[in-house]
């Protein structure tokens, strides 16, 4: 059964990105549906950041189309950007501002009406009610990421772009953030997630794409990728746990070489 392209919240089609003579992204295509967490995985330098930057509208690709919530980013860049919420790997909010002040600030930027009741709902939904009057610089890494995630969804975007959101978090904070991502998905949002954690990709992603040297080399549900490659000699050779994991498949497909 062929899915209608109009059903996709994010549709990346034949994307090519170059920096001078270097082709960073080579004719890649993928889509993300409503209510789906889609993982984009790859070694350092594989093309993940360039792809995200093009989706965010920060760089202009040489060719290809990116459509967000029905808006082509070339033709309707403001509409496409307004349909996105973005959480970067590290946050740089003013450390002296209180959590409530940051939320109020971003609500104003997004044009979202925010009364005391709605503010309380946001704080409770993101498990940051006890941090409401703390300055951002006083928060732990997990608390900062939950604040950042709460800002991503203030304007109820169709698509969330999460760039390695759990890097550096302890297991408890990471699980809390996973649960929040899953709750956002249940509300019908589409999520594009980049991560270096294969455990995270396997735990929360409905589908994943593995990108290497600017090309997508595999795309499917995590378990289906494991099943499809469990007998590959390269995958068997790197397996160390007595069972084939997504990390084994990832290393088997992209190689053992450490990327800078």
What are the E-state strand segments in 153-253? Answer: 159-163, 190-194, 207-212, 215-220
Predicted TM-score (pTM) of the model is 0.91
What are the E-state strand segments in the chain? Answer: 8-19, 22-33, 37-41, 63-68, 71-72, 84-87, 159-163, 190-194, 207-212, 215-220
Give Cβ neighbours of residue 109 (< 8 Å, ≥ 6 apart). Answer: none
pLDDT in tens, the chain (260 residues): 445 555 799 999 999 999 999 999 999 999 999 999 999 999 999 999 999 999 999 999 999 999 999 999 999 999 999 999 998 766 678 889 999 999 999 999 989 999 999 999 999 988 889 999 999 999 988 888 889 888 999 999 999 999 988 888 888 888 988 998 999 899 999 999 999 999 999 999 999 999 999 999 999 999 999 999 999 999 999 998 678 999 999 999 999 888 76
Measured CA to CA, the distance from residue 199 to residue 195 in angstroms comes to 10
Q: How far apart are the first and last CA of the chain?
A: 41
Copy the structure tokens of residue 64: 């290809």
């Amino acid at each position: 059964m062929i899915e209608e392209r109009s059903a996709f919240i994010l549709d990346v089609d034949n994307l090519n990105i170059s920096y001078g003579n270097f082709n960073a992204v080579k004719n890649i295509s993928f889509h993300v549906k409503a209510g789906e967490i889609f993982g984009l995985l790859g070694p350092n330098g594989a093309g993940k950041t360039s792809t995200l930057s093009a989706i965010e509208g920060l760089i202009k690709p040489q060719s290809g189309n990116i459509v967000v919530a029905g808006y082509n980013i070339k033709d309707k860049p403001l509409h496409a950007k307004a349909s996105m919420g973005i959480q970067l790997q590290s946050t740089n909010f003013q450390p002296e501002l209180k959590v409530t002040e940051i939320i109020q600030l971003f609500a104003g930027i997004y044009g979202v009406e925010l009364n005391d009741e709605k503010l309380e709902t946001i704080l409770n939904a993101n498990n940051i009610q006890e941090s409401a009057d703390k300055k951002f610089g006083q928060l732990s890494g997990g608390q900062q990421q939950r604040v950042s995630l709460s800002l991503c969804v203030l304007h109820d975007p169709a698509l969330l772009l999460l760039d390695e959101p759990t890097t550096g978090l302890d297991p408890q904070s990471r699980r809390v953030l996973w649960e929040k991502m899953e709750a956002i998905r249940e509300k019908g949002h589409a999520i594009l997630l980049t991560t270096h954690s294969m455990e995270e990709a396997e735990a929360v992603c409905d589908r994943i794409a593995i990108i290497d040297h600017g090309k997508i080399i595999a795309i499917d549900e995590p378990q289906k990728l494991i099943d499809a490659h469990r007998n590959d000699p390269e995958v068997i050779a790197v397996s160390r746990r007595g069972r084939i994991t997504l990390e084994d498949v990832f290393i088997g497909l992209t190689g053992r070489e450490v990327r800078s």
